[in-house]
Structure 1
Amino acid sequence: MGPAERAVRDYVNLESPQEDQVTLVQKVQSKRIQGRVHDVFDVHCTETRWWVITEPMNLYLQNDFPNAQQALIFHIGLGDFLAERSRMEIDGEHEKHISAAWRRFRDALETMNSASESEDFQSVGIKCRDSLIALVKAHQADPWVGEVAEPPKVADFKGWANIFADRLTEDRLRSYVKALVDRTWDLTVWLQHYSNATPMEADLVLEATSHLITTFGKLIHRQEMGSPSRCPRCESYRLHNELKHDVDANTYQESDVCAGCGWRSDWVAVHEFISE
């Protein structure tokens, strides 16, 4: 059994009950579709039989899909559906910083889903532009922005976004973010006025807009939360906090521990323990 078959076996065994484990794994075909290779495996278990298809790996009961081709078609459709749905989702800890912009970006996605003509795809550009303006409007008064000697107009995305880049980044990252700001805004405005817009151009603008919004979400989150702590001995980021109850002192104490080198900080009392 090769490494691919072993990975499939382990995956199915993990998903199956203990009494229905894998007895045989056979690769039956590979299909390259839109540049992605999907391997199809016929998997026999003690009580059931599955199709397992990769990229991403998933399993389908052969009672539901008697033919491997049926399972592959469903797999590809499911993958496209999940990929489209994931474009509307964002990490919760970052979404709170860009919620207004992300709501408008979801509107752009909805417009794209129902678009059929060039003017529909142009509307995607308008909504992407509006989502970027919403991003800068939401943060112009944030404490980390500070005093701005000559503030741009409220809806001047490039002006405010470049100020944000100055406050949130430095060195090479600052140059990168400013380039994103400039190119992404120009793309949205171009699509808005491009009378021959196609689905491909609209999709590229959606991807660029999503990337820029989530980039600012991460940068603002870092600004407000601070950089992660590092071990003073080995500079690893893998620090975790341990808590214990000191019965004699009637307190809880905490200590930071490094998973990289084992360094530990001194125990520090965090609050008094109150017994019922």
Structure 2
Amino acid sequence: MNRQDVMMHYRPQERPFVDRTIDLVARVDQRQAPVLTDFLDPRQLKIVEAIAHTASEVSLFRSGGHELAERQRALLVPSYWVPETDEFELSFLRFSTIGDHGKLKHGDYLGALVGLGLKRSKLGDLAVHDQGCDLVTTKEIADYIRLSLSQVGRSAVQVQEIQGEQFVAPQVEYQEKEFTVMSLRVDAVAGEAFGLSRSKVVDPIKSGKLQLNWQVIDSPATAVEEGDVMSLRGHGRAKVLAIIGQSRKGRTILKIGKYL
């Protein structure tokens, strides 16, 4: 594998991750021993998959603890290796709120966990439900979270370990919105999706604050397609649910779902 040729296919901000991934794949190939990553987002998983495919003696397996997991750990193994479930070293925790201080949101739980000094890469999916929140995490930090986290926002919480089959998968909820745009440029679509004027969305895009399908996009002219997921720092995340068609004036009609 020519490292420089591989790097040319990725944006500058992705190249440190690509470089580390190339080293991991080479280590598995040379030592014939497995390597387990932390939790990766879908974009990072695509990078790992692409690089792993360049090594004929390396196979990739992944798990995030449930069937539709967004964040997953990648297990790189020699091609003859058949991994067991416990090799992903996942733990499952449930946070139950005590008292009534209003419903906590995903960001409340994530903020409390990061406030413990934890890196996002050690945390998998968070699933908020009526009784509290379930979390997939690495086995190595599960006890630390269980013993250290006692409050989220203004609510006291109780943390207990649960079995994987008890994990309540995240229920994605959207606030749907239909609108028209002159073109499918990401600045036009993001501006409407997040309630910003086009002029106020261009600078954040150029400064790397917008991700399209978990990849930083710095060109406002990048085209958006049906199914794409956008996130703009400080404004949340939205999905292009449907490209409905053309209006009488020739504008494109979109249906967007903003994550609640």
| TM bucket normalised to smaller | under 0.3
Which structure's residues are more often strand, by fraction? 2
Which structure's residues are more often helix, by fraction? 1
The TM-score with structure 1 as length reference comes to 0.20
The TM-score with structure 2 as length reference comes to 0.21
Between structure 1 and structure 2, the one with the greater Rg is 1
